[in-house]
Structures are given as structure tokens and as C-alpha cells.
Amino acid sequence: MKYSAPEFMGALPPELEELKQLVRGVVQRECIPLESKFLTHRPGDEPDPKGGAWLETPTTRNETLVDGALTQADWDRLTRISKETGLYSATLPEEYGGFGFGVLGSFVIAEEFKRSVVPLPVPEAPPVLFDCSEIQREKYLEPTIRGEKEYCFCQTEPDAGSDPGSMRTTAVREGDEWVINGTKTFISRADRATYQLVLAVTDPEKRQHGGITMFIVDADTPGITLAPIDTWLAQKAGQFTITYDNVRVPAENLVGEEGGGFRLGQSWLIISDRLTRGSMATGFLTRGLEMAVEWSKARETFGKPIAERQAIQWMLVDVFLDIKAIRAMSYECATRADRGEDVRTYAAAAKFMGGNWGHRSMDNIMQILGGMGEVLESPISHWYRGLRHGRIGGGTDEIQKMLMARAILNQGVSLWEA
Ligand SMILES: Cc1cc2nc3c(=O)[nH]c(=O)nc-3n(C[C@H](O)[C@H](O)[C@H](O)COP(=O)(O)OP(=O)(O)OC[C@H]3O[C@@H](n4cnc5c(N)ncnc54)[C@H](O)[C@@H]3O)c2cc1C
């Protein structure tokens, strides 16, 4: 029998390789040159005579950072480029201009976007609303796609983080309304959100097994109070504690089925959060490794470049290995998701590797750059924080390991041989 070697296992199909190069080119040309300007300004700085007000840009997407600002003129230009290249809607369903390249395509795009701390403007539409009712589509999904509305995701509570099934926020039906009471905490972007996706207990007996429901709550509904939390990620008021005191929500704002909210929230977390941590890591690390290689060749100590020292070379190698491993696991997860498989274990693996290994590799990159790695004008320290947060946000390292351990014990050999 004649053996012909396949493409290597991590190879992308040609159309996705083309997409990757397209996004890389746009980010390289349009976003990276703005980084220094972005990282040396803050929202609300004195207006730039040529560019106008310095804006807070949605860099909190996927919980990275809010460390910089762009002028209105730069933001408008980037928005125009995003729309002209089609990237603005590339990852949306095809009826909204999506490219139809599935989860793997979205991963490839996200990876390339993450090579710069300057975001290319794209709408942040919550995938849980892609199958929503007609009213919800018109009132929430479509305005979000047009960039007119923003949302926040409210699951975590003061006594329910890793174990969201123990949440205490309740929603009780009264006529054609639901009345929500309780407290959510660590909610990103709650100050900017025009609506909130809130998970609440509707059947205390069933809880996560059919007793938790998702609601769309307009942010200006009476009874909602916000209290800011300063974290090192976004510094001032990046997250919020939200209190719901008899907040009335129309019955038409229930998302999906009554009791189906926990499953909706988890399915969204798997693809839109956990897998995304893989792309965040590979995006940040590929660029970081390029910077570390360049720096190590140019920086001389004791008469020769630090790149000639084994201590530095081994750190470069460790980063290379992490990038390849995180990407391989993430591609496998995305490909399996596109085939309709249950990818909970693979997403937990991509999340763990992206957060834990991504962070240790960014630590190596920072080490190679020495003091320059800590300078705020460079993206390194920002990526470092973003990746460290990846070990907590969206489910901690320990919870991902718990999920993987369950699968290892229950599925056995079919898991690692598949
Ligand atoms: C910056 C930031 C942004 C966030 N944004 C949002 C948001 O937008 N929306 C939202 O809903 N939430 C958000 N969160 C909340 C985040 O998802 C939770 O912080 C996270 O899930 C961990 O929950 P916790 O903080 O309650 O930790 P805990 O659950 O109290 O865990 C504490 C420690 O115990 C460990 N642990 C817990 N259970 C086990 C176990 N069974 N076995 C072993 N170890 C265990 C954990 O891994 C962790 O190390 C955000 C958090 C932060 C910090």
C-alpha cells in the first residue's frame, strides 16, 4: 500500500489561511501603528486638535483591558475599514453578513485581532440571542449588531462564582411580568451596557437542572443599582456589583425556554469564552514572541546579544512550544464544534492552556525584555494582565481541570484516543 503524507495536522484549509492573511494584513497596517498613541492616552484626555475627543474603546471585550484611548477620528477610520473589509460582520450568522467559516473561522479571526491591543471595531453581539424571538431580535440583537446597544452577562454572585448552580437571585412570575431580586457581582461593562443578560432561579428545586432562566433586562429598569469594583485588569470601575430590588421584566424578555438559562449560559461560555481564551493566548504570544526574538538579537550584555545565552534561548523555546500546543488544542476544539460534537472537555482544555500556559509564556516574554517588558507604552504588561485574568475569569483553572478530570474518568480511553 502506498502511503501519502497528509497536510500536517494543524494546517488550515486554504480559504481560512487566506482569511488569516487578510486579517493579519489589516491589523498590521491599521491597528499596530496606533498602539503607542493608544497606550499613552486615557479616555477624557484633552481633545486632540486633529482627531477630536479621546474615546474609551471597547477593549474590555473578552475581558482584556481598558488601558488606552483612541481619538474619534481614528475610531471612525478603523470602523470604516472594518466595514469595508467585511470583518465587521465576519463572525456573525450569514444572514447578518457573516463569512460562514464556523467556529474555526471565528477562532482564526480572533487570534489575528488579538495581535494588537488596538481593537478593530466589531459588534459585540451575544450568540445566545442568535436564536431569539422576533421581538428580541428587533429590540436587542439587531441594534447590537448595528453598534447602537451593548450588553453585559450577569451570572456570578457574591456566593456563587465557580458554582453558579448555587446562585440566589430569583425571578418570580407575576401576570405577564417576572420580578427579579438578588445581587450579581464582578460584572464587566455593566456601566456601558444598555441591557443585561441575567440568570435567575425560577425553580429552586431544579436549579441548574431546569430551574435557572435567562432574562434580558433593560439597564434603566427601576430597581437596578450599580456599585463599581476596581480590579487591576481594567483599573477604575471595570467591573460592577449589581443589585436587583423588585425589578420587573416583561415575559417576552425571557430568553429561550423557562428553565433553560443555565444550559444557554454554559453553552455560550464554552464557545464564546473558554475557546476564546485560546485565541487570546496565541494572538498575544505570537506577537510577543516576535518582539522577544527581535529584542534578544539586538540587546547586548557583556559583549554579545542576549539571544546567544542559553537561558534566553530556552525561554524562547518554551514560548514556542506553548503557542503550538495551545493552537493545536484550540483548532481541534473548534473543528469538533463545527462538526456538531460536544466540546466541553476540549473547550476546558483550551481555556486552561490559554490562561495558565499563556500566562507563563507571557511571563517569559516579559523576562526576556527586562525592564522594557514592564513599560506601559508597550503591550507586554497589558497582555500579561489579560492572560493572568484568563486563569480566573470565565471559570478558574481548577474548574477547567475538574471538568477535564470528569471526562477522563467517565469517558476513559475514547477521550484521548479520539
Ligand atoms: C475582572 C473580572 C471580570 C469578570 N467578569 C464577569 C462577567 O462579566 N460576568 C460574570 O458573570 N462574571 C464575571 N466575573 C466572575 C468570574 O467568572 C468569577 O470570578 C470566576 O468564575 C471565579 O469565581 P469566584 O471569584 O467566586 O471564585 P470562587 O468560586 O470563590 O473560587 C475561589 C478559589 O477556589 C477554587 N475552587 C472553587 N471550587 C473548587 C473546586 N470544586 N475544586 C478546586 N478548587 C475550587 C477556585 O478555582 C478559586 O481558585 C469576572 C471576574 C473578574 C475578576
pLDDT, residue 65, reads 57
Residue 153 Cβ contacting ligand 1 at under 6 Å: yes
Give the model's pLDDT for residue 365.
98
pLDDT value of residue 235: 64
390-417 per-position pLDDT tens digit: 999 989 999 999 999 999 999 999 999 9
Residue 266 Cβ < 6 Å to ligand 1: no
Cα 266 to Cα 153: distance, rounded to the nearest angstrom: 12
Site to probe by mutation for ligand 1, drawn from 61, 156, 168 as the one with most ligand atoms within 8 Å of Cβ, is: 156
> For residue 330, how many other CB atoms are within 10 A of its CB?
31
Q: pLDDT tens digits for 195-248?
A: 999 999 999 999 999 999 999 999 999 999 999 998 887 766 678 999 999 999
Share of the chain above pLDDT 90, in %: 79
The Cα–Cα gap between 401 and 418 comes to: 19
Q: Is ligand 1 within 6 A of the CB of residue 164?
A: no
Residue 189 has pLDDT above 90, yes or no: no
Homologous superfamily (CATH) for 151-255: Butyryl-CoA Dehydrogenase, subunit A, domain 2 (2.40.110.10)
* Per-residue pLDDT at 58: 60
Question: How would residue 370 be classed by pLDDT, with cut points 50, 70 and 90?
Answer: very high
Q: Of all protein residues, whose CA lies closest to atom 45 belonging to ligand 1?
A: 398
Report the separation in Å between the CA atom of 285 and the middle of ligand 1, taken as the mean of its atom positions: 24
Confidence category of residue 137, pLDDT binned at 50, 70, 90: very high
Residue 194 has pLDDT above 90, yes or no: yes
pLDDT tens column, 273-300: 899 899 999 999 999 999 999 999 999 9
CA distance 407 to 236: 39
Boundaries of CATH 1.10.540 in the chain?
14-125
Q: Decide whether any atom of ligand 1 lies within 6 Å of the 395 Cβ.
A: yes
Domain with CATH 2.40.110.10 in the chain: 151-255
pLDDT for the residue numbered 403: 96
Ligand 1 pocket mutation pick from 162, 230, 264, 382 by most atoms within 8 angstroms of CB: 162
Question: 396, 400, 402: which to mutate for ligand 1, most atoms within 8 A of CB?
Answer: 396
232 alpha carbon – ligand 1 mean position (Å): 15
Confidence (pLDDT) at 81: 97
Ligand 1: atom nearest CA of 162 is 29
Residues of the chain with CATH 1.20.140.10: 263-417
* Protein residue whose Cα sits closest to atom 24 of ligand 1: 161
Residue 60 has pLDDT above 80, yes or no: no
Q: Output the residue whose Cα is nearest ligand 1's atom 44.
A: 398
Q: How confident is the model over 312-354, as pLDDT tens digits?
A: 999 999 999 999 999 999 999 999 999 999 999 999 999 999 9
Pocket of ligand 1 contains residue 233 by CB under 6 Å:
yes
Residues 6+ apart with CB under 8 A from 260: 210, 213, 214
Please tell me the distance between residue 191's alpha carbon and the centre of ligand 1 in angstroms: 21
Which atom of ligand 1 is the closest one to the Cα of 152? 8
- Sign (positive/negative) of CA torsion 61, 65, 66, 68? negative
* Cα(177) to centroid(ligand 1), Å: 31
What number does the ligand 1 atom closest to the CA of 238 have? 1
Residue 57 has pLDDT above 90, yes or no: no
155 Cα: distance to centroid of ligand 1 (angstroms): 11
Kindly state the average pLDDT of the residues 367-395.
Answer: 94
pLDDT bucket at 63, cuts 50 / 70 / 90: very low
**C-alpha to C-alpha distance for 203 and 183, rounded to whole angstroms:** 17
Question: What pLDDT, on a 0 to 100 scale, did the predictor assign at position 267?
Answer: 82
Which residue, among 247, 258, 224, 255, has the nearest Cα to 178 in the 3D structure?
247
What is the pLDDT, as a whole number, of residue 383? Answer: 94
Q: What is the pTM of this model?
A: 0.95
Residue 66 has pLDDT above 70, yes or no: no
Quote the CA–CA distance of 176 and 316 in Å, as a whole number: 60
C-alpha radius of gyration, the chain, whole number: 22
Which class in CATH covers the domain with range 14-125? mainly alpha
Residue 6 has a pLDDT of 76
CATH architecture group of domain 263-417: Up-down Bundle (1.20)
